[in-house]
Structure 1
Amino acid sequence: MTTVTAEARPHPHLRLAHEGAVLTVTLANPDERNAQTPSLWRALAEVAAAVDPGVRVVVLRAEGQSFSAGLHRGMLSPAGMVGEDNLLLTAAGDPKHLAGQIAVYQRAFVTWRALPAVVVAAVQGHAIGAGFQLALAADLRVLADDAVLAMRETSLGLVPDLGGTKPLVEAVGYARALEICATGRAVGAAEAAALGLANLVVPRADLEAGTDDLVAALLQAPEQALRELKAVLRTATASTPDQQCENERHAQARLLTAMVARRP
């Protein structure tokens, strides 16, 4: 695997590796269970926005025992954290400015699903709050059998606000999403698979290998067909039947035209 140089490392707690058509983005703060901060979100957004057009698959993974314990608790202290936005101070000011700040943070999550590349999250241990929402930002999820997903925002008097509510509702439906978020309960790997939150559950020791197998299968699909497929499926829930048929027609026409053009 070819790792990006240290000078290009976008954040002290983020590591990138690019090999062929695969970009691996790794949360690298295992001592704090990969807790997230605004500076990390900005770095993630910048990485997502700058993904090379030749990348076909992005893997979101994490070092250590947990995928991500969510928002760093220091962000909710009155003093805030050195070098980070003071969320409570911002919340005490202009509501429009606060909403604008949240919009900046959301880009670290929603940009992944908008990529032409297929994004795969490899999740082990805890994926709580912002960690759960980062996993939901991926198109596909491989969970270790020790994975625990939870939305704890409501127990703090808040709501999930990092782009996770739409993919959660799409995956499990409104009633189940409401129950998961309102109670803040843990969703284990087996239940996640049953609910459609996990595409694959593997033993913890096999998480890397299981993810690699899925990535390899994705790379076997013709590149343009896979890109068109992701785009077509992403529009399906929001489109009317007629609109979705139109989306399918246009995608298929582009693929057939390109196929004919390649023939001698």
Structure 2
Amino acid sequence: MTVRAAAKVNLVLGVGRVRADGMHPLDTVYQAVSLYDDVRASPSEQWEVAVRSVGDVDCSGVPLDEGNLAVRAGQLLAAHHGLDRAARLDIDKGIPVAGGLAGGSADAAAALVALDRLWQLRTSDEDLLDLAARLGSDVPFALLGGTAHGAGRGELVTPVADTGDHWWVVVPHDVGLSTPAVYGELDRLHPDAPAVPRSSEAVLAALLVGDHAALGAALHNDLEDPAVSLRPELGERLALVRSHHDGPVLLSGSGPTVLGLSPTHEHATATRGALLEAGVPVVHVVTGPVAGAHVVELAG
């Protein structure tokens, strides 16, 4: 059983002051884009995980034990149904690792769907979303895909109207960035941040009417400054992309991947060509919104 799940980008990521539980309140808008991981589940007497790179993705930092979020998803699903079961998970990774694109969350969502089908559990959508929220803030959205509003710590996900086709230039970095470290730096830089994050209303309004210019003007990421503070070379990367891209540019999630929004495929492709000529080794052109975790193959 093979399930495909997409990378995510945050069109806006507003972050409030850290809560008593150690989490940060978010007001965000997610979009699933056409970079994918495939997770293949097969029967096994014990939990096993193997990871294979697709293209240029460096998988060296992906855990191959119970630290892998996809394995934890399978264990949580089995426990939810009171089962003593295990499986082998083979992950083909096309989403850059530790890049702010939620590749680990995509794998967890794909594992939930793949194992639910493999074991014929027929878990309700509500229960799958609840399990996903227990695994991480981005996992529920990885199940849903499309475009959605995220609240709480990001796990309260509501699909939103999105009338457009969006093209993104995706510029990964060869060195990942720790999400907890970026949030910690945000707290250090802004100890008096407001408890309520900035609103995503402008992005939602632009999506509703398909106003590309208004959408571009409303893009924002509160984690960009702390990420650059931790890794000053990201500021140089952002400046380089801005110098070759006629459009809005921002950091993806907690970084270090850089995004450029384009109105057309041709525009995005032109930016990609310019960045490659400027010496950037890897540049993707992707589109969104795309579907969430879904079955792409039935074995046997």
Structure with more of its chain in strand, by fraction: 2
Range of TM-score over shorter length: under 0.3
Structure with more of its chain in helix, by fraction: 1
TM-score with structure 1 length normalisation? 0.28
